[in-house]
Amino acid sequence: MVDAAGLPEELGAFDMILHRGEANPRTRSGIMAVLLLDTVPEWDRLLAGFEHASRRVLRLRQKVVVPTVPTAAPRWVVDPDFNLNFHVRRVRVPEPGTLREVFDIAEVSLQSPLDISRPLWTATLVEGIADGRAAVLLHMSHAIADGVGAVEMFANIYDFERDPPPREPAPIPIPQDLTGNELAREGFNRLPVTILGGVVGALTGTAQVVGRVLSDPVSAVGGAVSYARSSTRVMSSTAERSPLLRRRSLTSRTEAIDMELRDIRAAAKAAEGSINDAYLAAICGALRLYHHELGVPINALPMGIPVNLRAEADPAGGNRFAGVMIDAPLGISDPAARIHNVRTQMVKRRDEPAIDMISSVAPLLGLLPDPLLESVVGSLVSADVQASNVPMYPGDTFIAGGKVVRQYGLGPLPGVAMMAVLISHAGLCSVTTRYDRASVREDELWARCLLAGFNEVLALGGAGRAVPATFTQSTATSSQEPSANGSSPS
């Protein structure tokens, strides 16, 4: 079933696993966009913008109703008690606020649970930042959408000019006063039809499988074996986990750098790779330098890469990505050779028949009780690092009159030591690394290695350089090294 906007009313199996994980700090899957604005937006105008967006995008007004007895799938319903003032907040840091303070606020938010009895998002305006600037922290559950889907869903909060004409008022979504008991009864009443449909589907599928086996047993068995081998290649890595990155805790930190999109594109072209290849190779270079500086050089470590599977016809909500594993080539010092190595591995992984295996196993995992689910999922996570790439809008964007001069993506830490996210926006690239501080203990060293790892890749394309994340609008002429707090002065 889908709603009027084309979004599915029922949670998919994988989305529900992410939703269940919100209660546990070790499995929490919140994602966040940190938007730096060139001026403080008008509060009433900001509220009006989110009010408009919540009417256009139902997910911003919907909560999840879970049946008290599992006779039906959990469902998205329009919250009859929706309160915009709960979701849109404002805080002030002591002036002049820095980017480090913004990231620290973001960390507290990401490490805190979202209220699962309400729509699963918040937006926090941060005031008091140096030079009269501001930040907006958009925090949402991964159960709502993946990174690419979130870009589509939150499009309604952006303007493409500072003072656009008034928007056409949107109608208020009709609330749905549905309880878990009512959903369970509804599912129970449909149970005979559901069971009959499941039996018919199972028999039909079994008949088709038996028919294929009888008609060509060698090919059928060979196909099953081939898929099993493919799933192993997709989900596992031959690289051993790093001895430096093994510990896990509940404390994390974010470090970020900026660069021109044209510079990383030129570097990628010079090495005959894509921007994503150059980005992954630069992360590998940073990790290589970090391990060398601490006297623990390694040749490779397991790295997880989300691959977008979303088609144009797919709705914005939900998760449509696959996770693949590569052996991150830390032993390769030449950045061009590192890009080639990453590209070769990624091309092979994208062509794997079992690339979407997560969707296949999610219904089975969803049947497990929470403690067992956490244990099984934890055993499946074999990566030290994950790295994601989310393209944004190519032109300038505005929120309530404030121009977005930087945008940073902060991802979850699903059992990994580090999550890296690249955001491309308006000709700029920003890279964040959010890491577990029990694994990455040398904050200043990692900030220097991150910068150096990207600059050795950017050097392939010419004179471009990455710089520590700042509030300034231009990165082309800056060459400052990371300061003690990981941010350059404004």
Number of Cβ within a 10 Å radius of residue 114: 23
Q: Which of 87, 139, 142, 291 is catalytic?
A: 142
3-state secondary structure 201-254: HHHHHHHHHHHHHHHCHHHHHHHHHHHHHHHHHHHCCCCCCCCCCCCCCCCEEE
Cα–Cα distance, 318 to 15 (Å, whole number): 6
| Catalytic status, residue 142 | yes
- DSSP states of 412-443 as a string? --SS-SEEEEEEEETTEEEEEEEEETTT---H
Q: Are 482 and 444 in contact (CB under 8 A)?
A: yes
Alpha-carbon distance of 285 to 277, in angstroms, equals: 12
Give the helix/strand (H/E) hosting 328: strand 321-328
DSSP state of 384: S
Instruction: Name the burial class of residue 367, with classes exposed (0-12), middle (13-18) and buried (19+) by CB atoms within 10 angstroms of its CB.
Output: exposed
298: three-class secondary structure by DSSP: coil
Which residues are CB-neighbours of 414 under 8 A, at least 6 positions away? 27, 29, 377, 381, 386
Say if residues 469 and 257 touch (Cβ distance below 8 Å): yes
Helix (H) or strand (E) holding 139, with range, is: strand 133-140
Q: Which residues pair with 388 in a beta bridge?
A: 421
- The DSSP element (H or E) to which 403 belongs, if any, is strand 402-410
Tell me which residues are annotated as active site.
Answer: 142
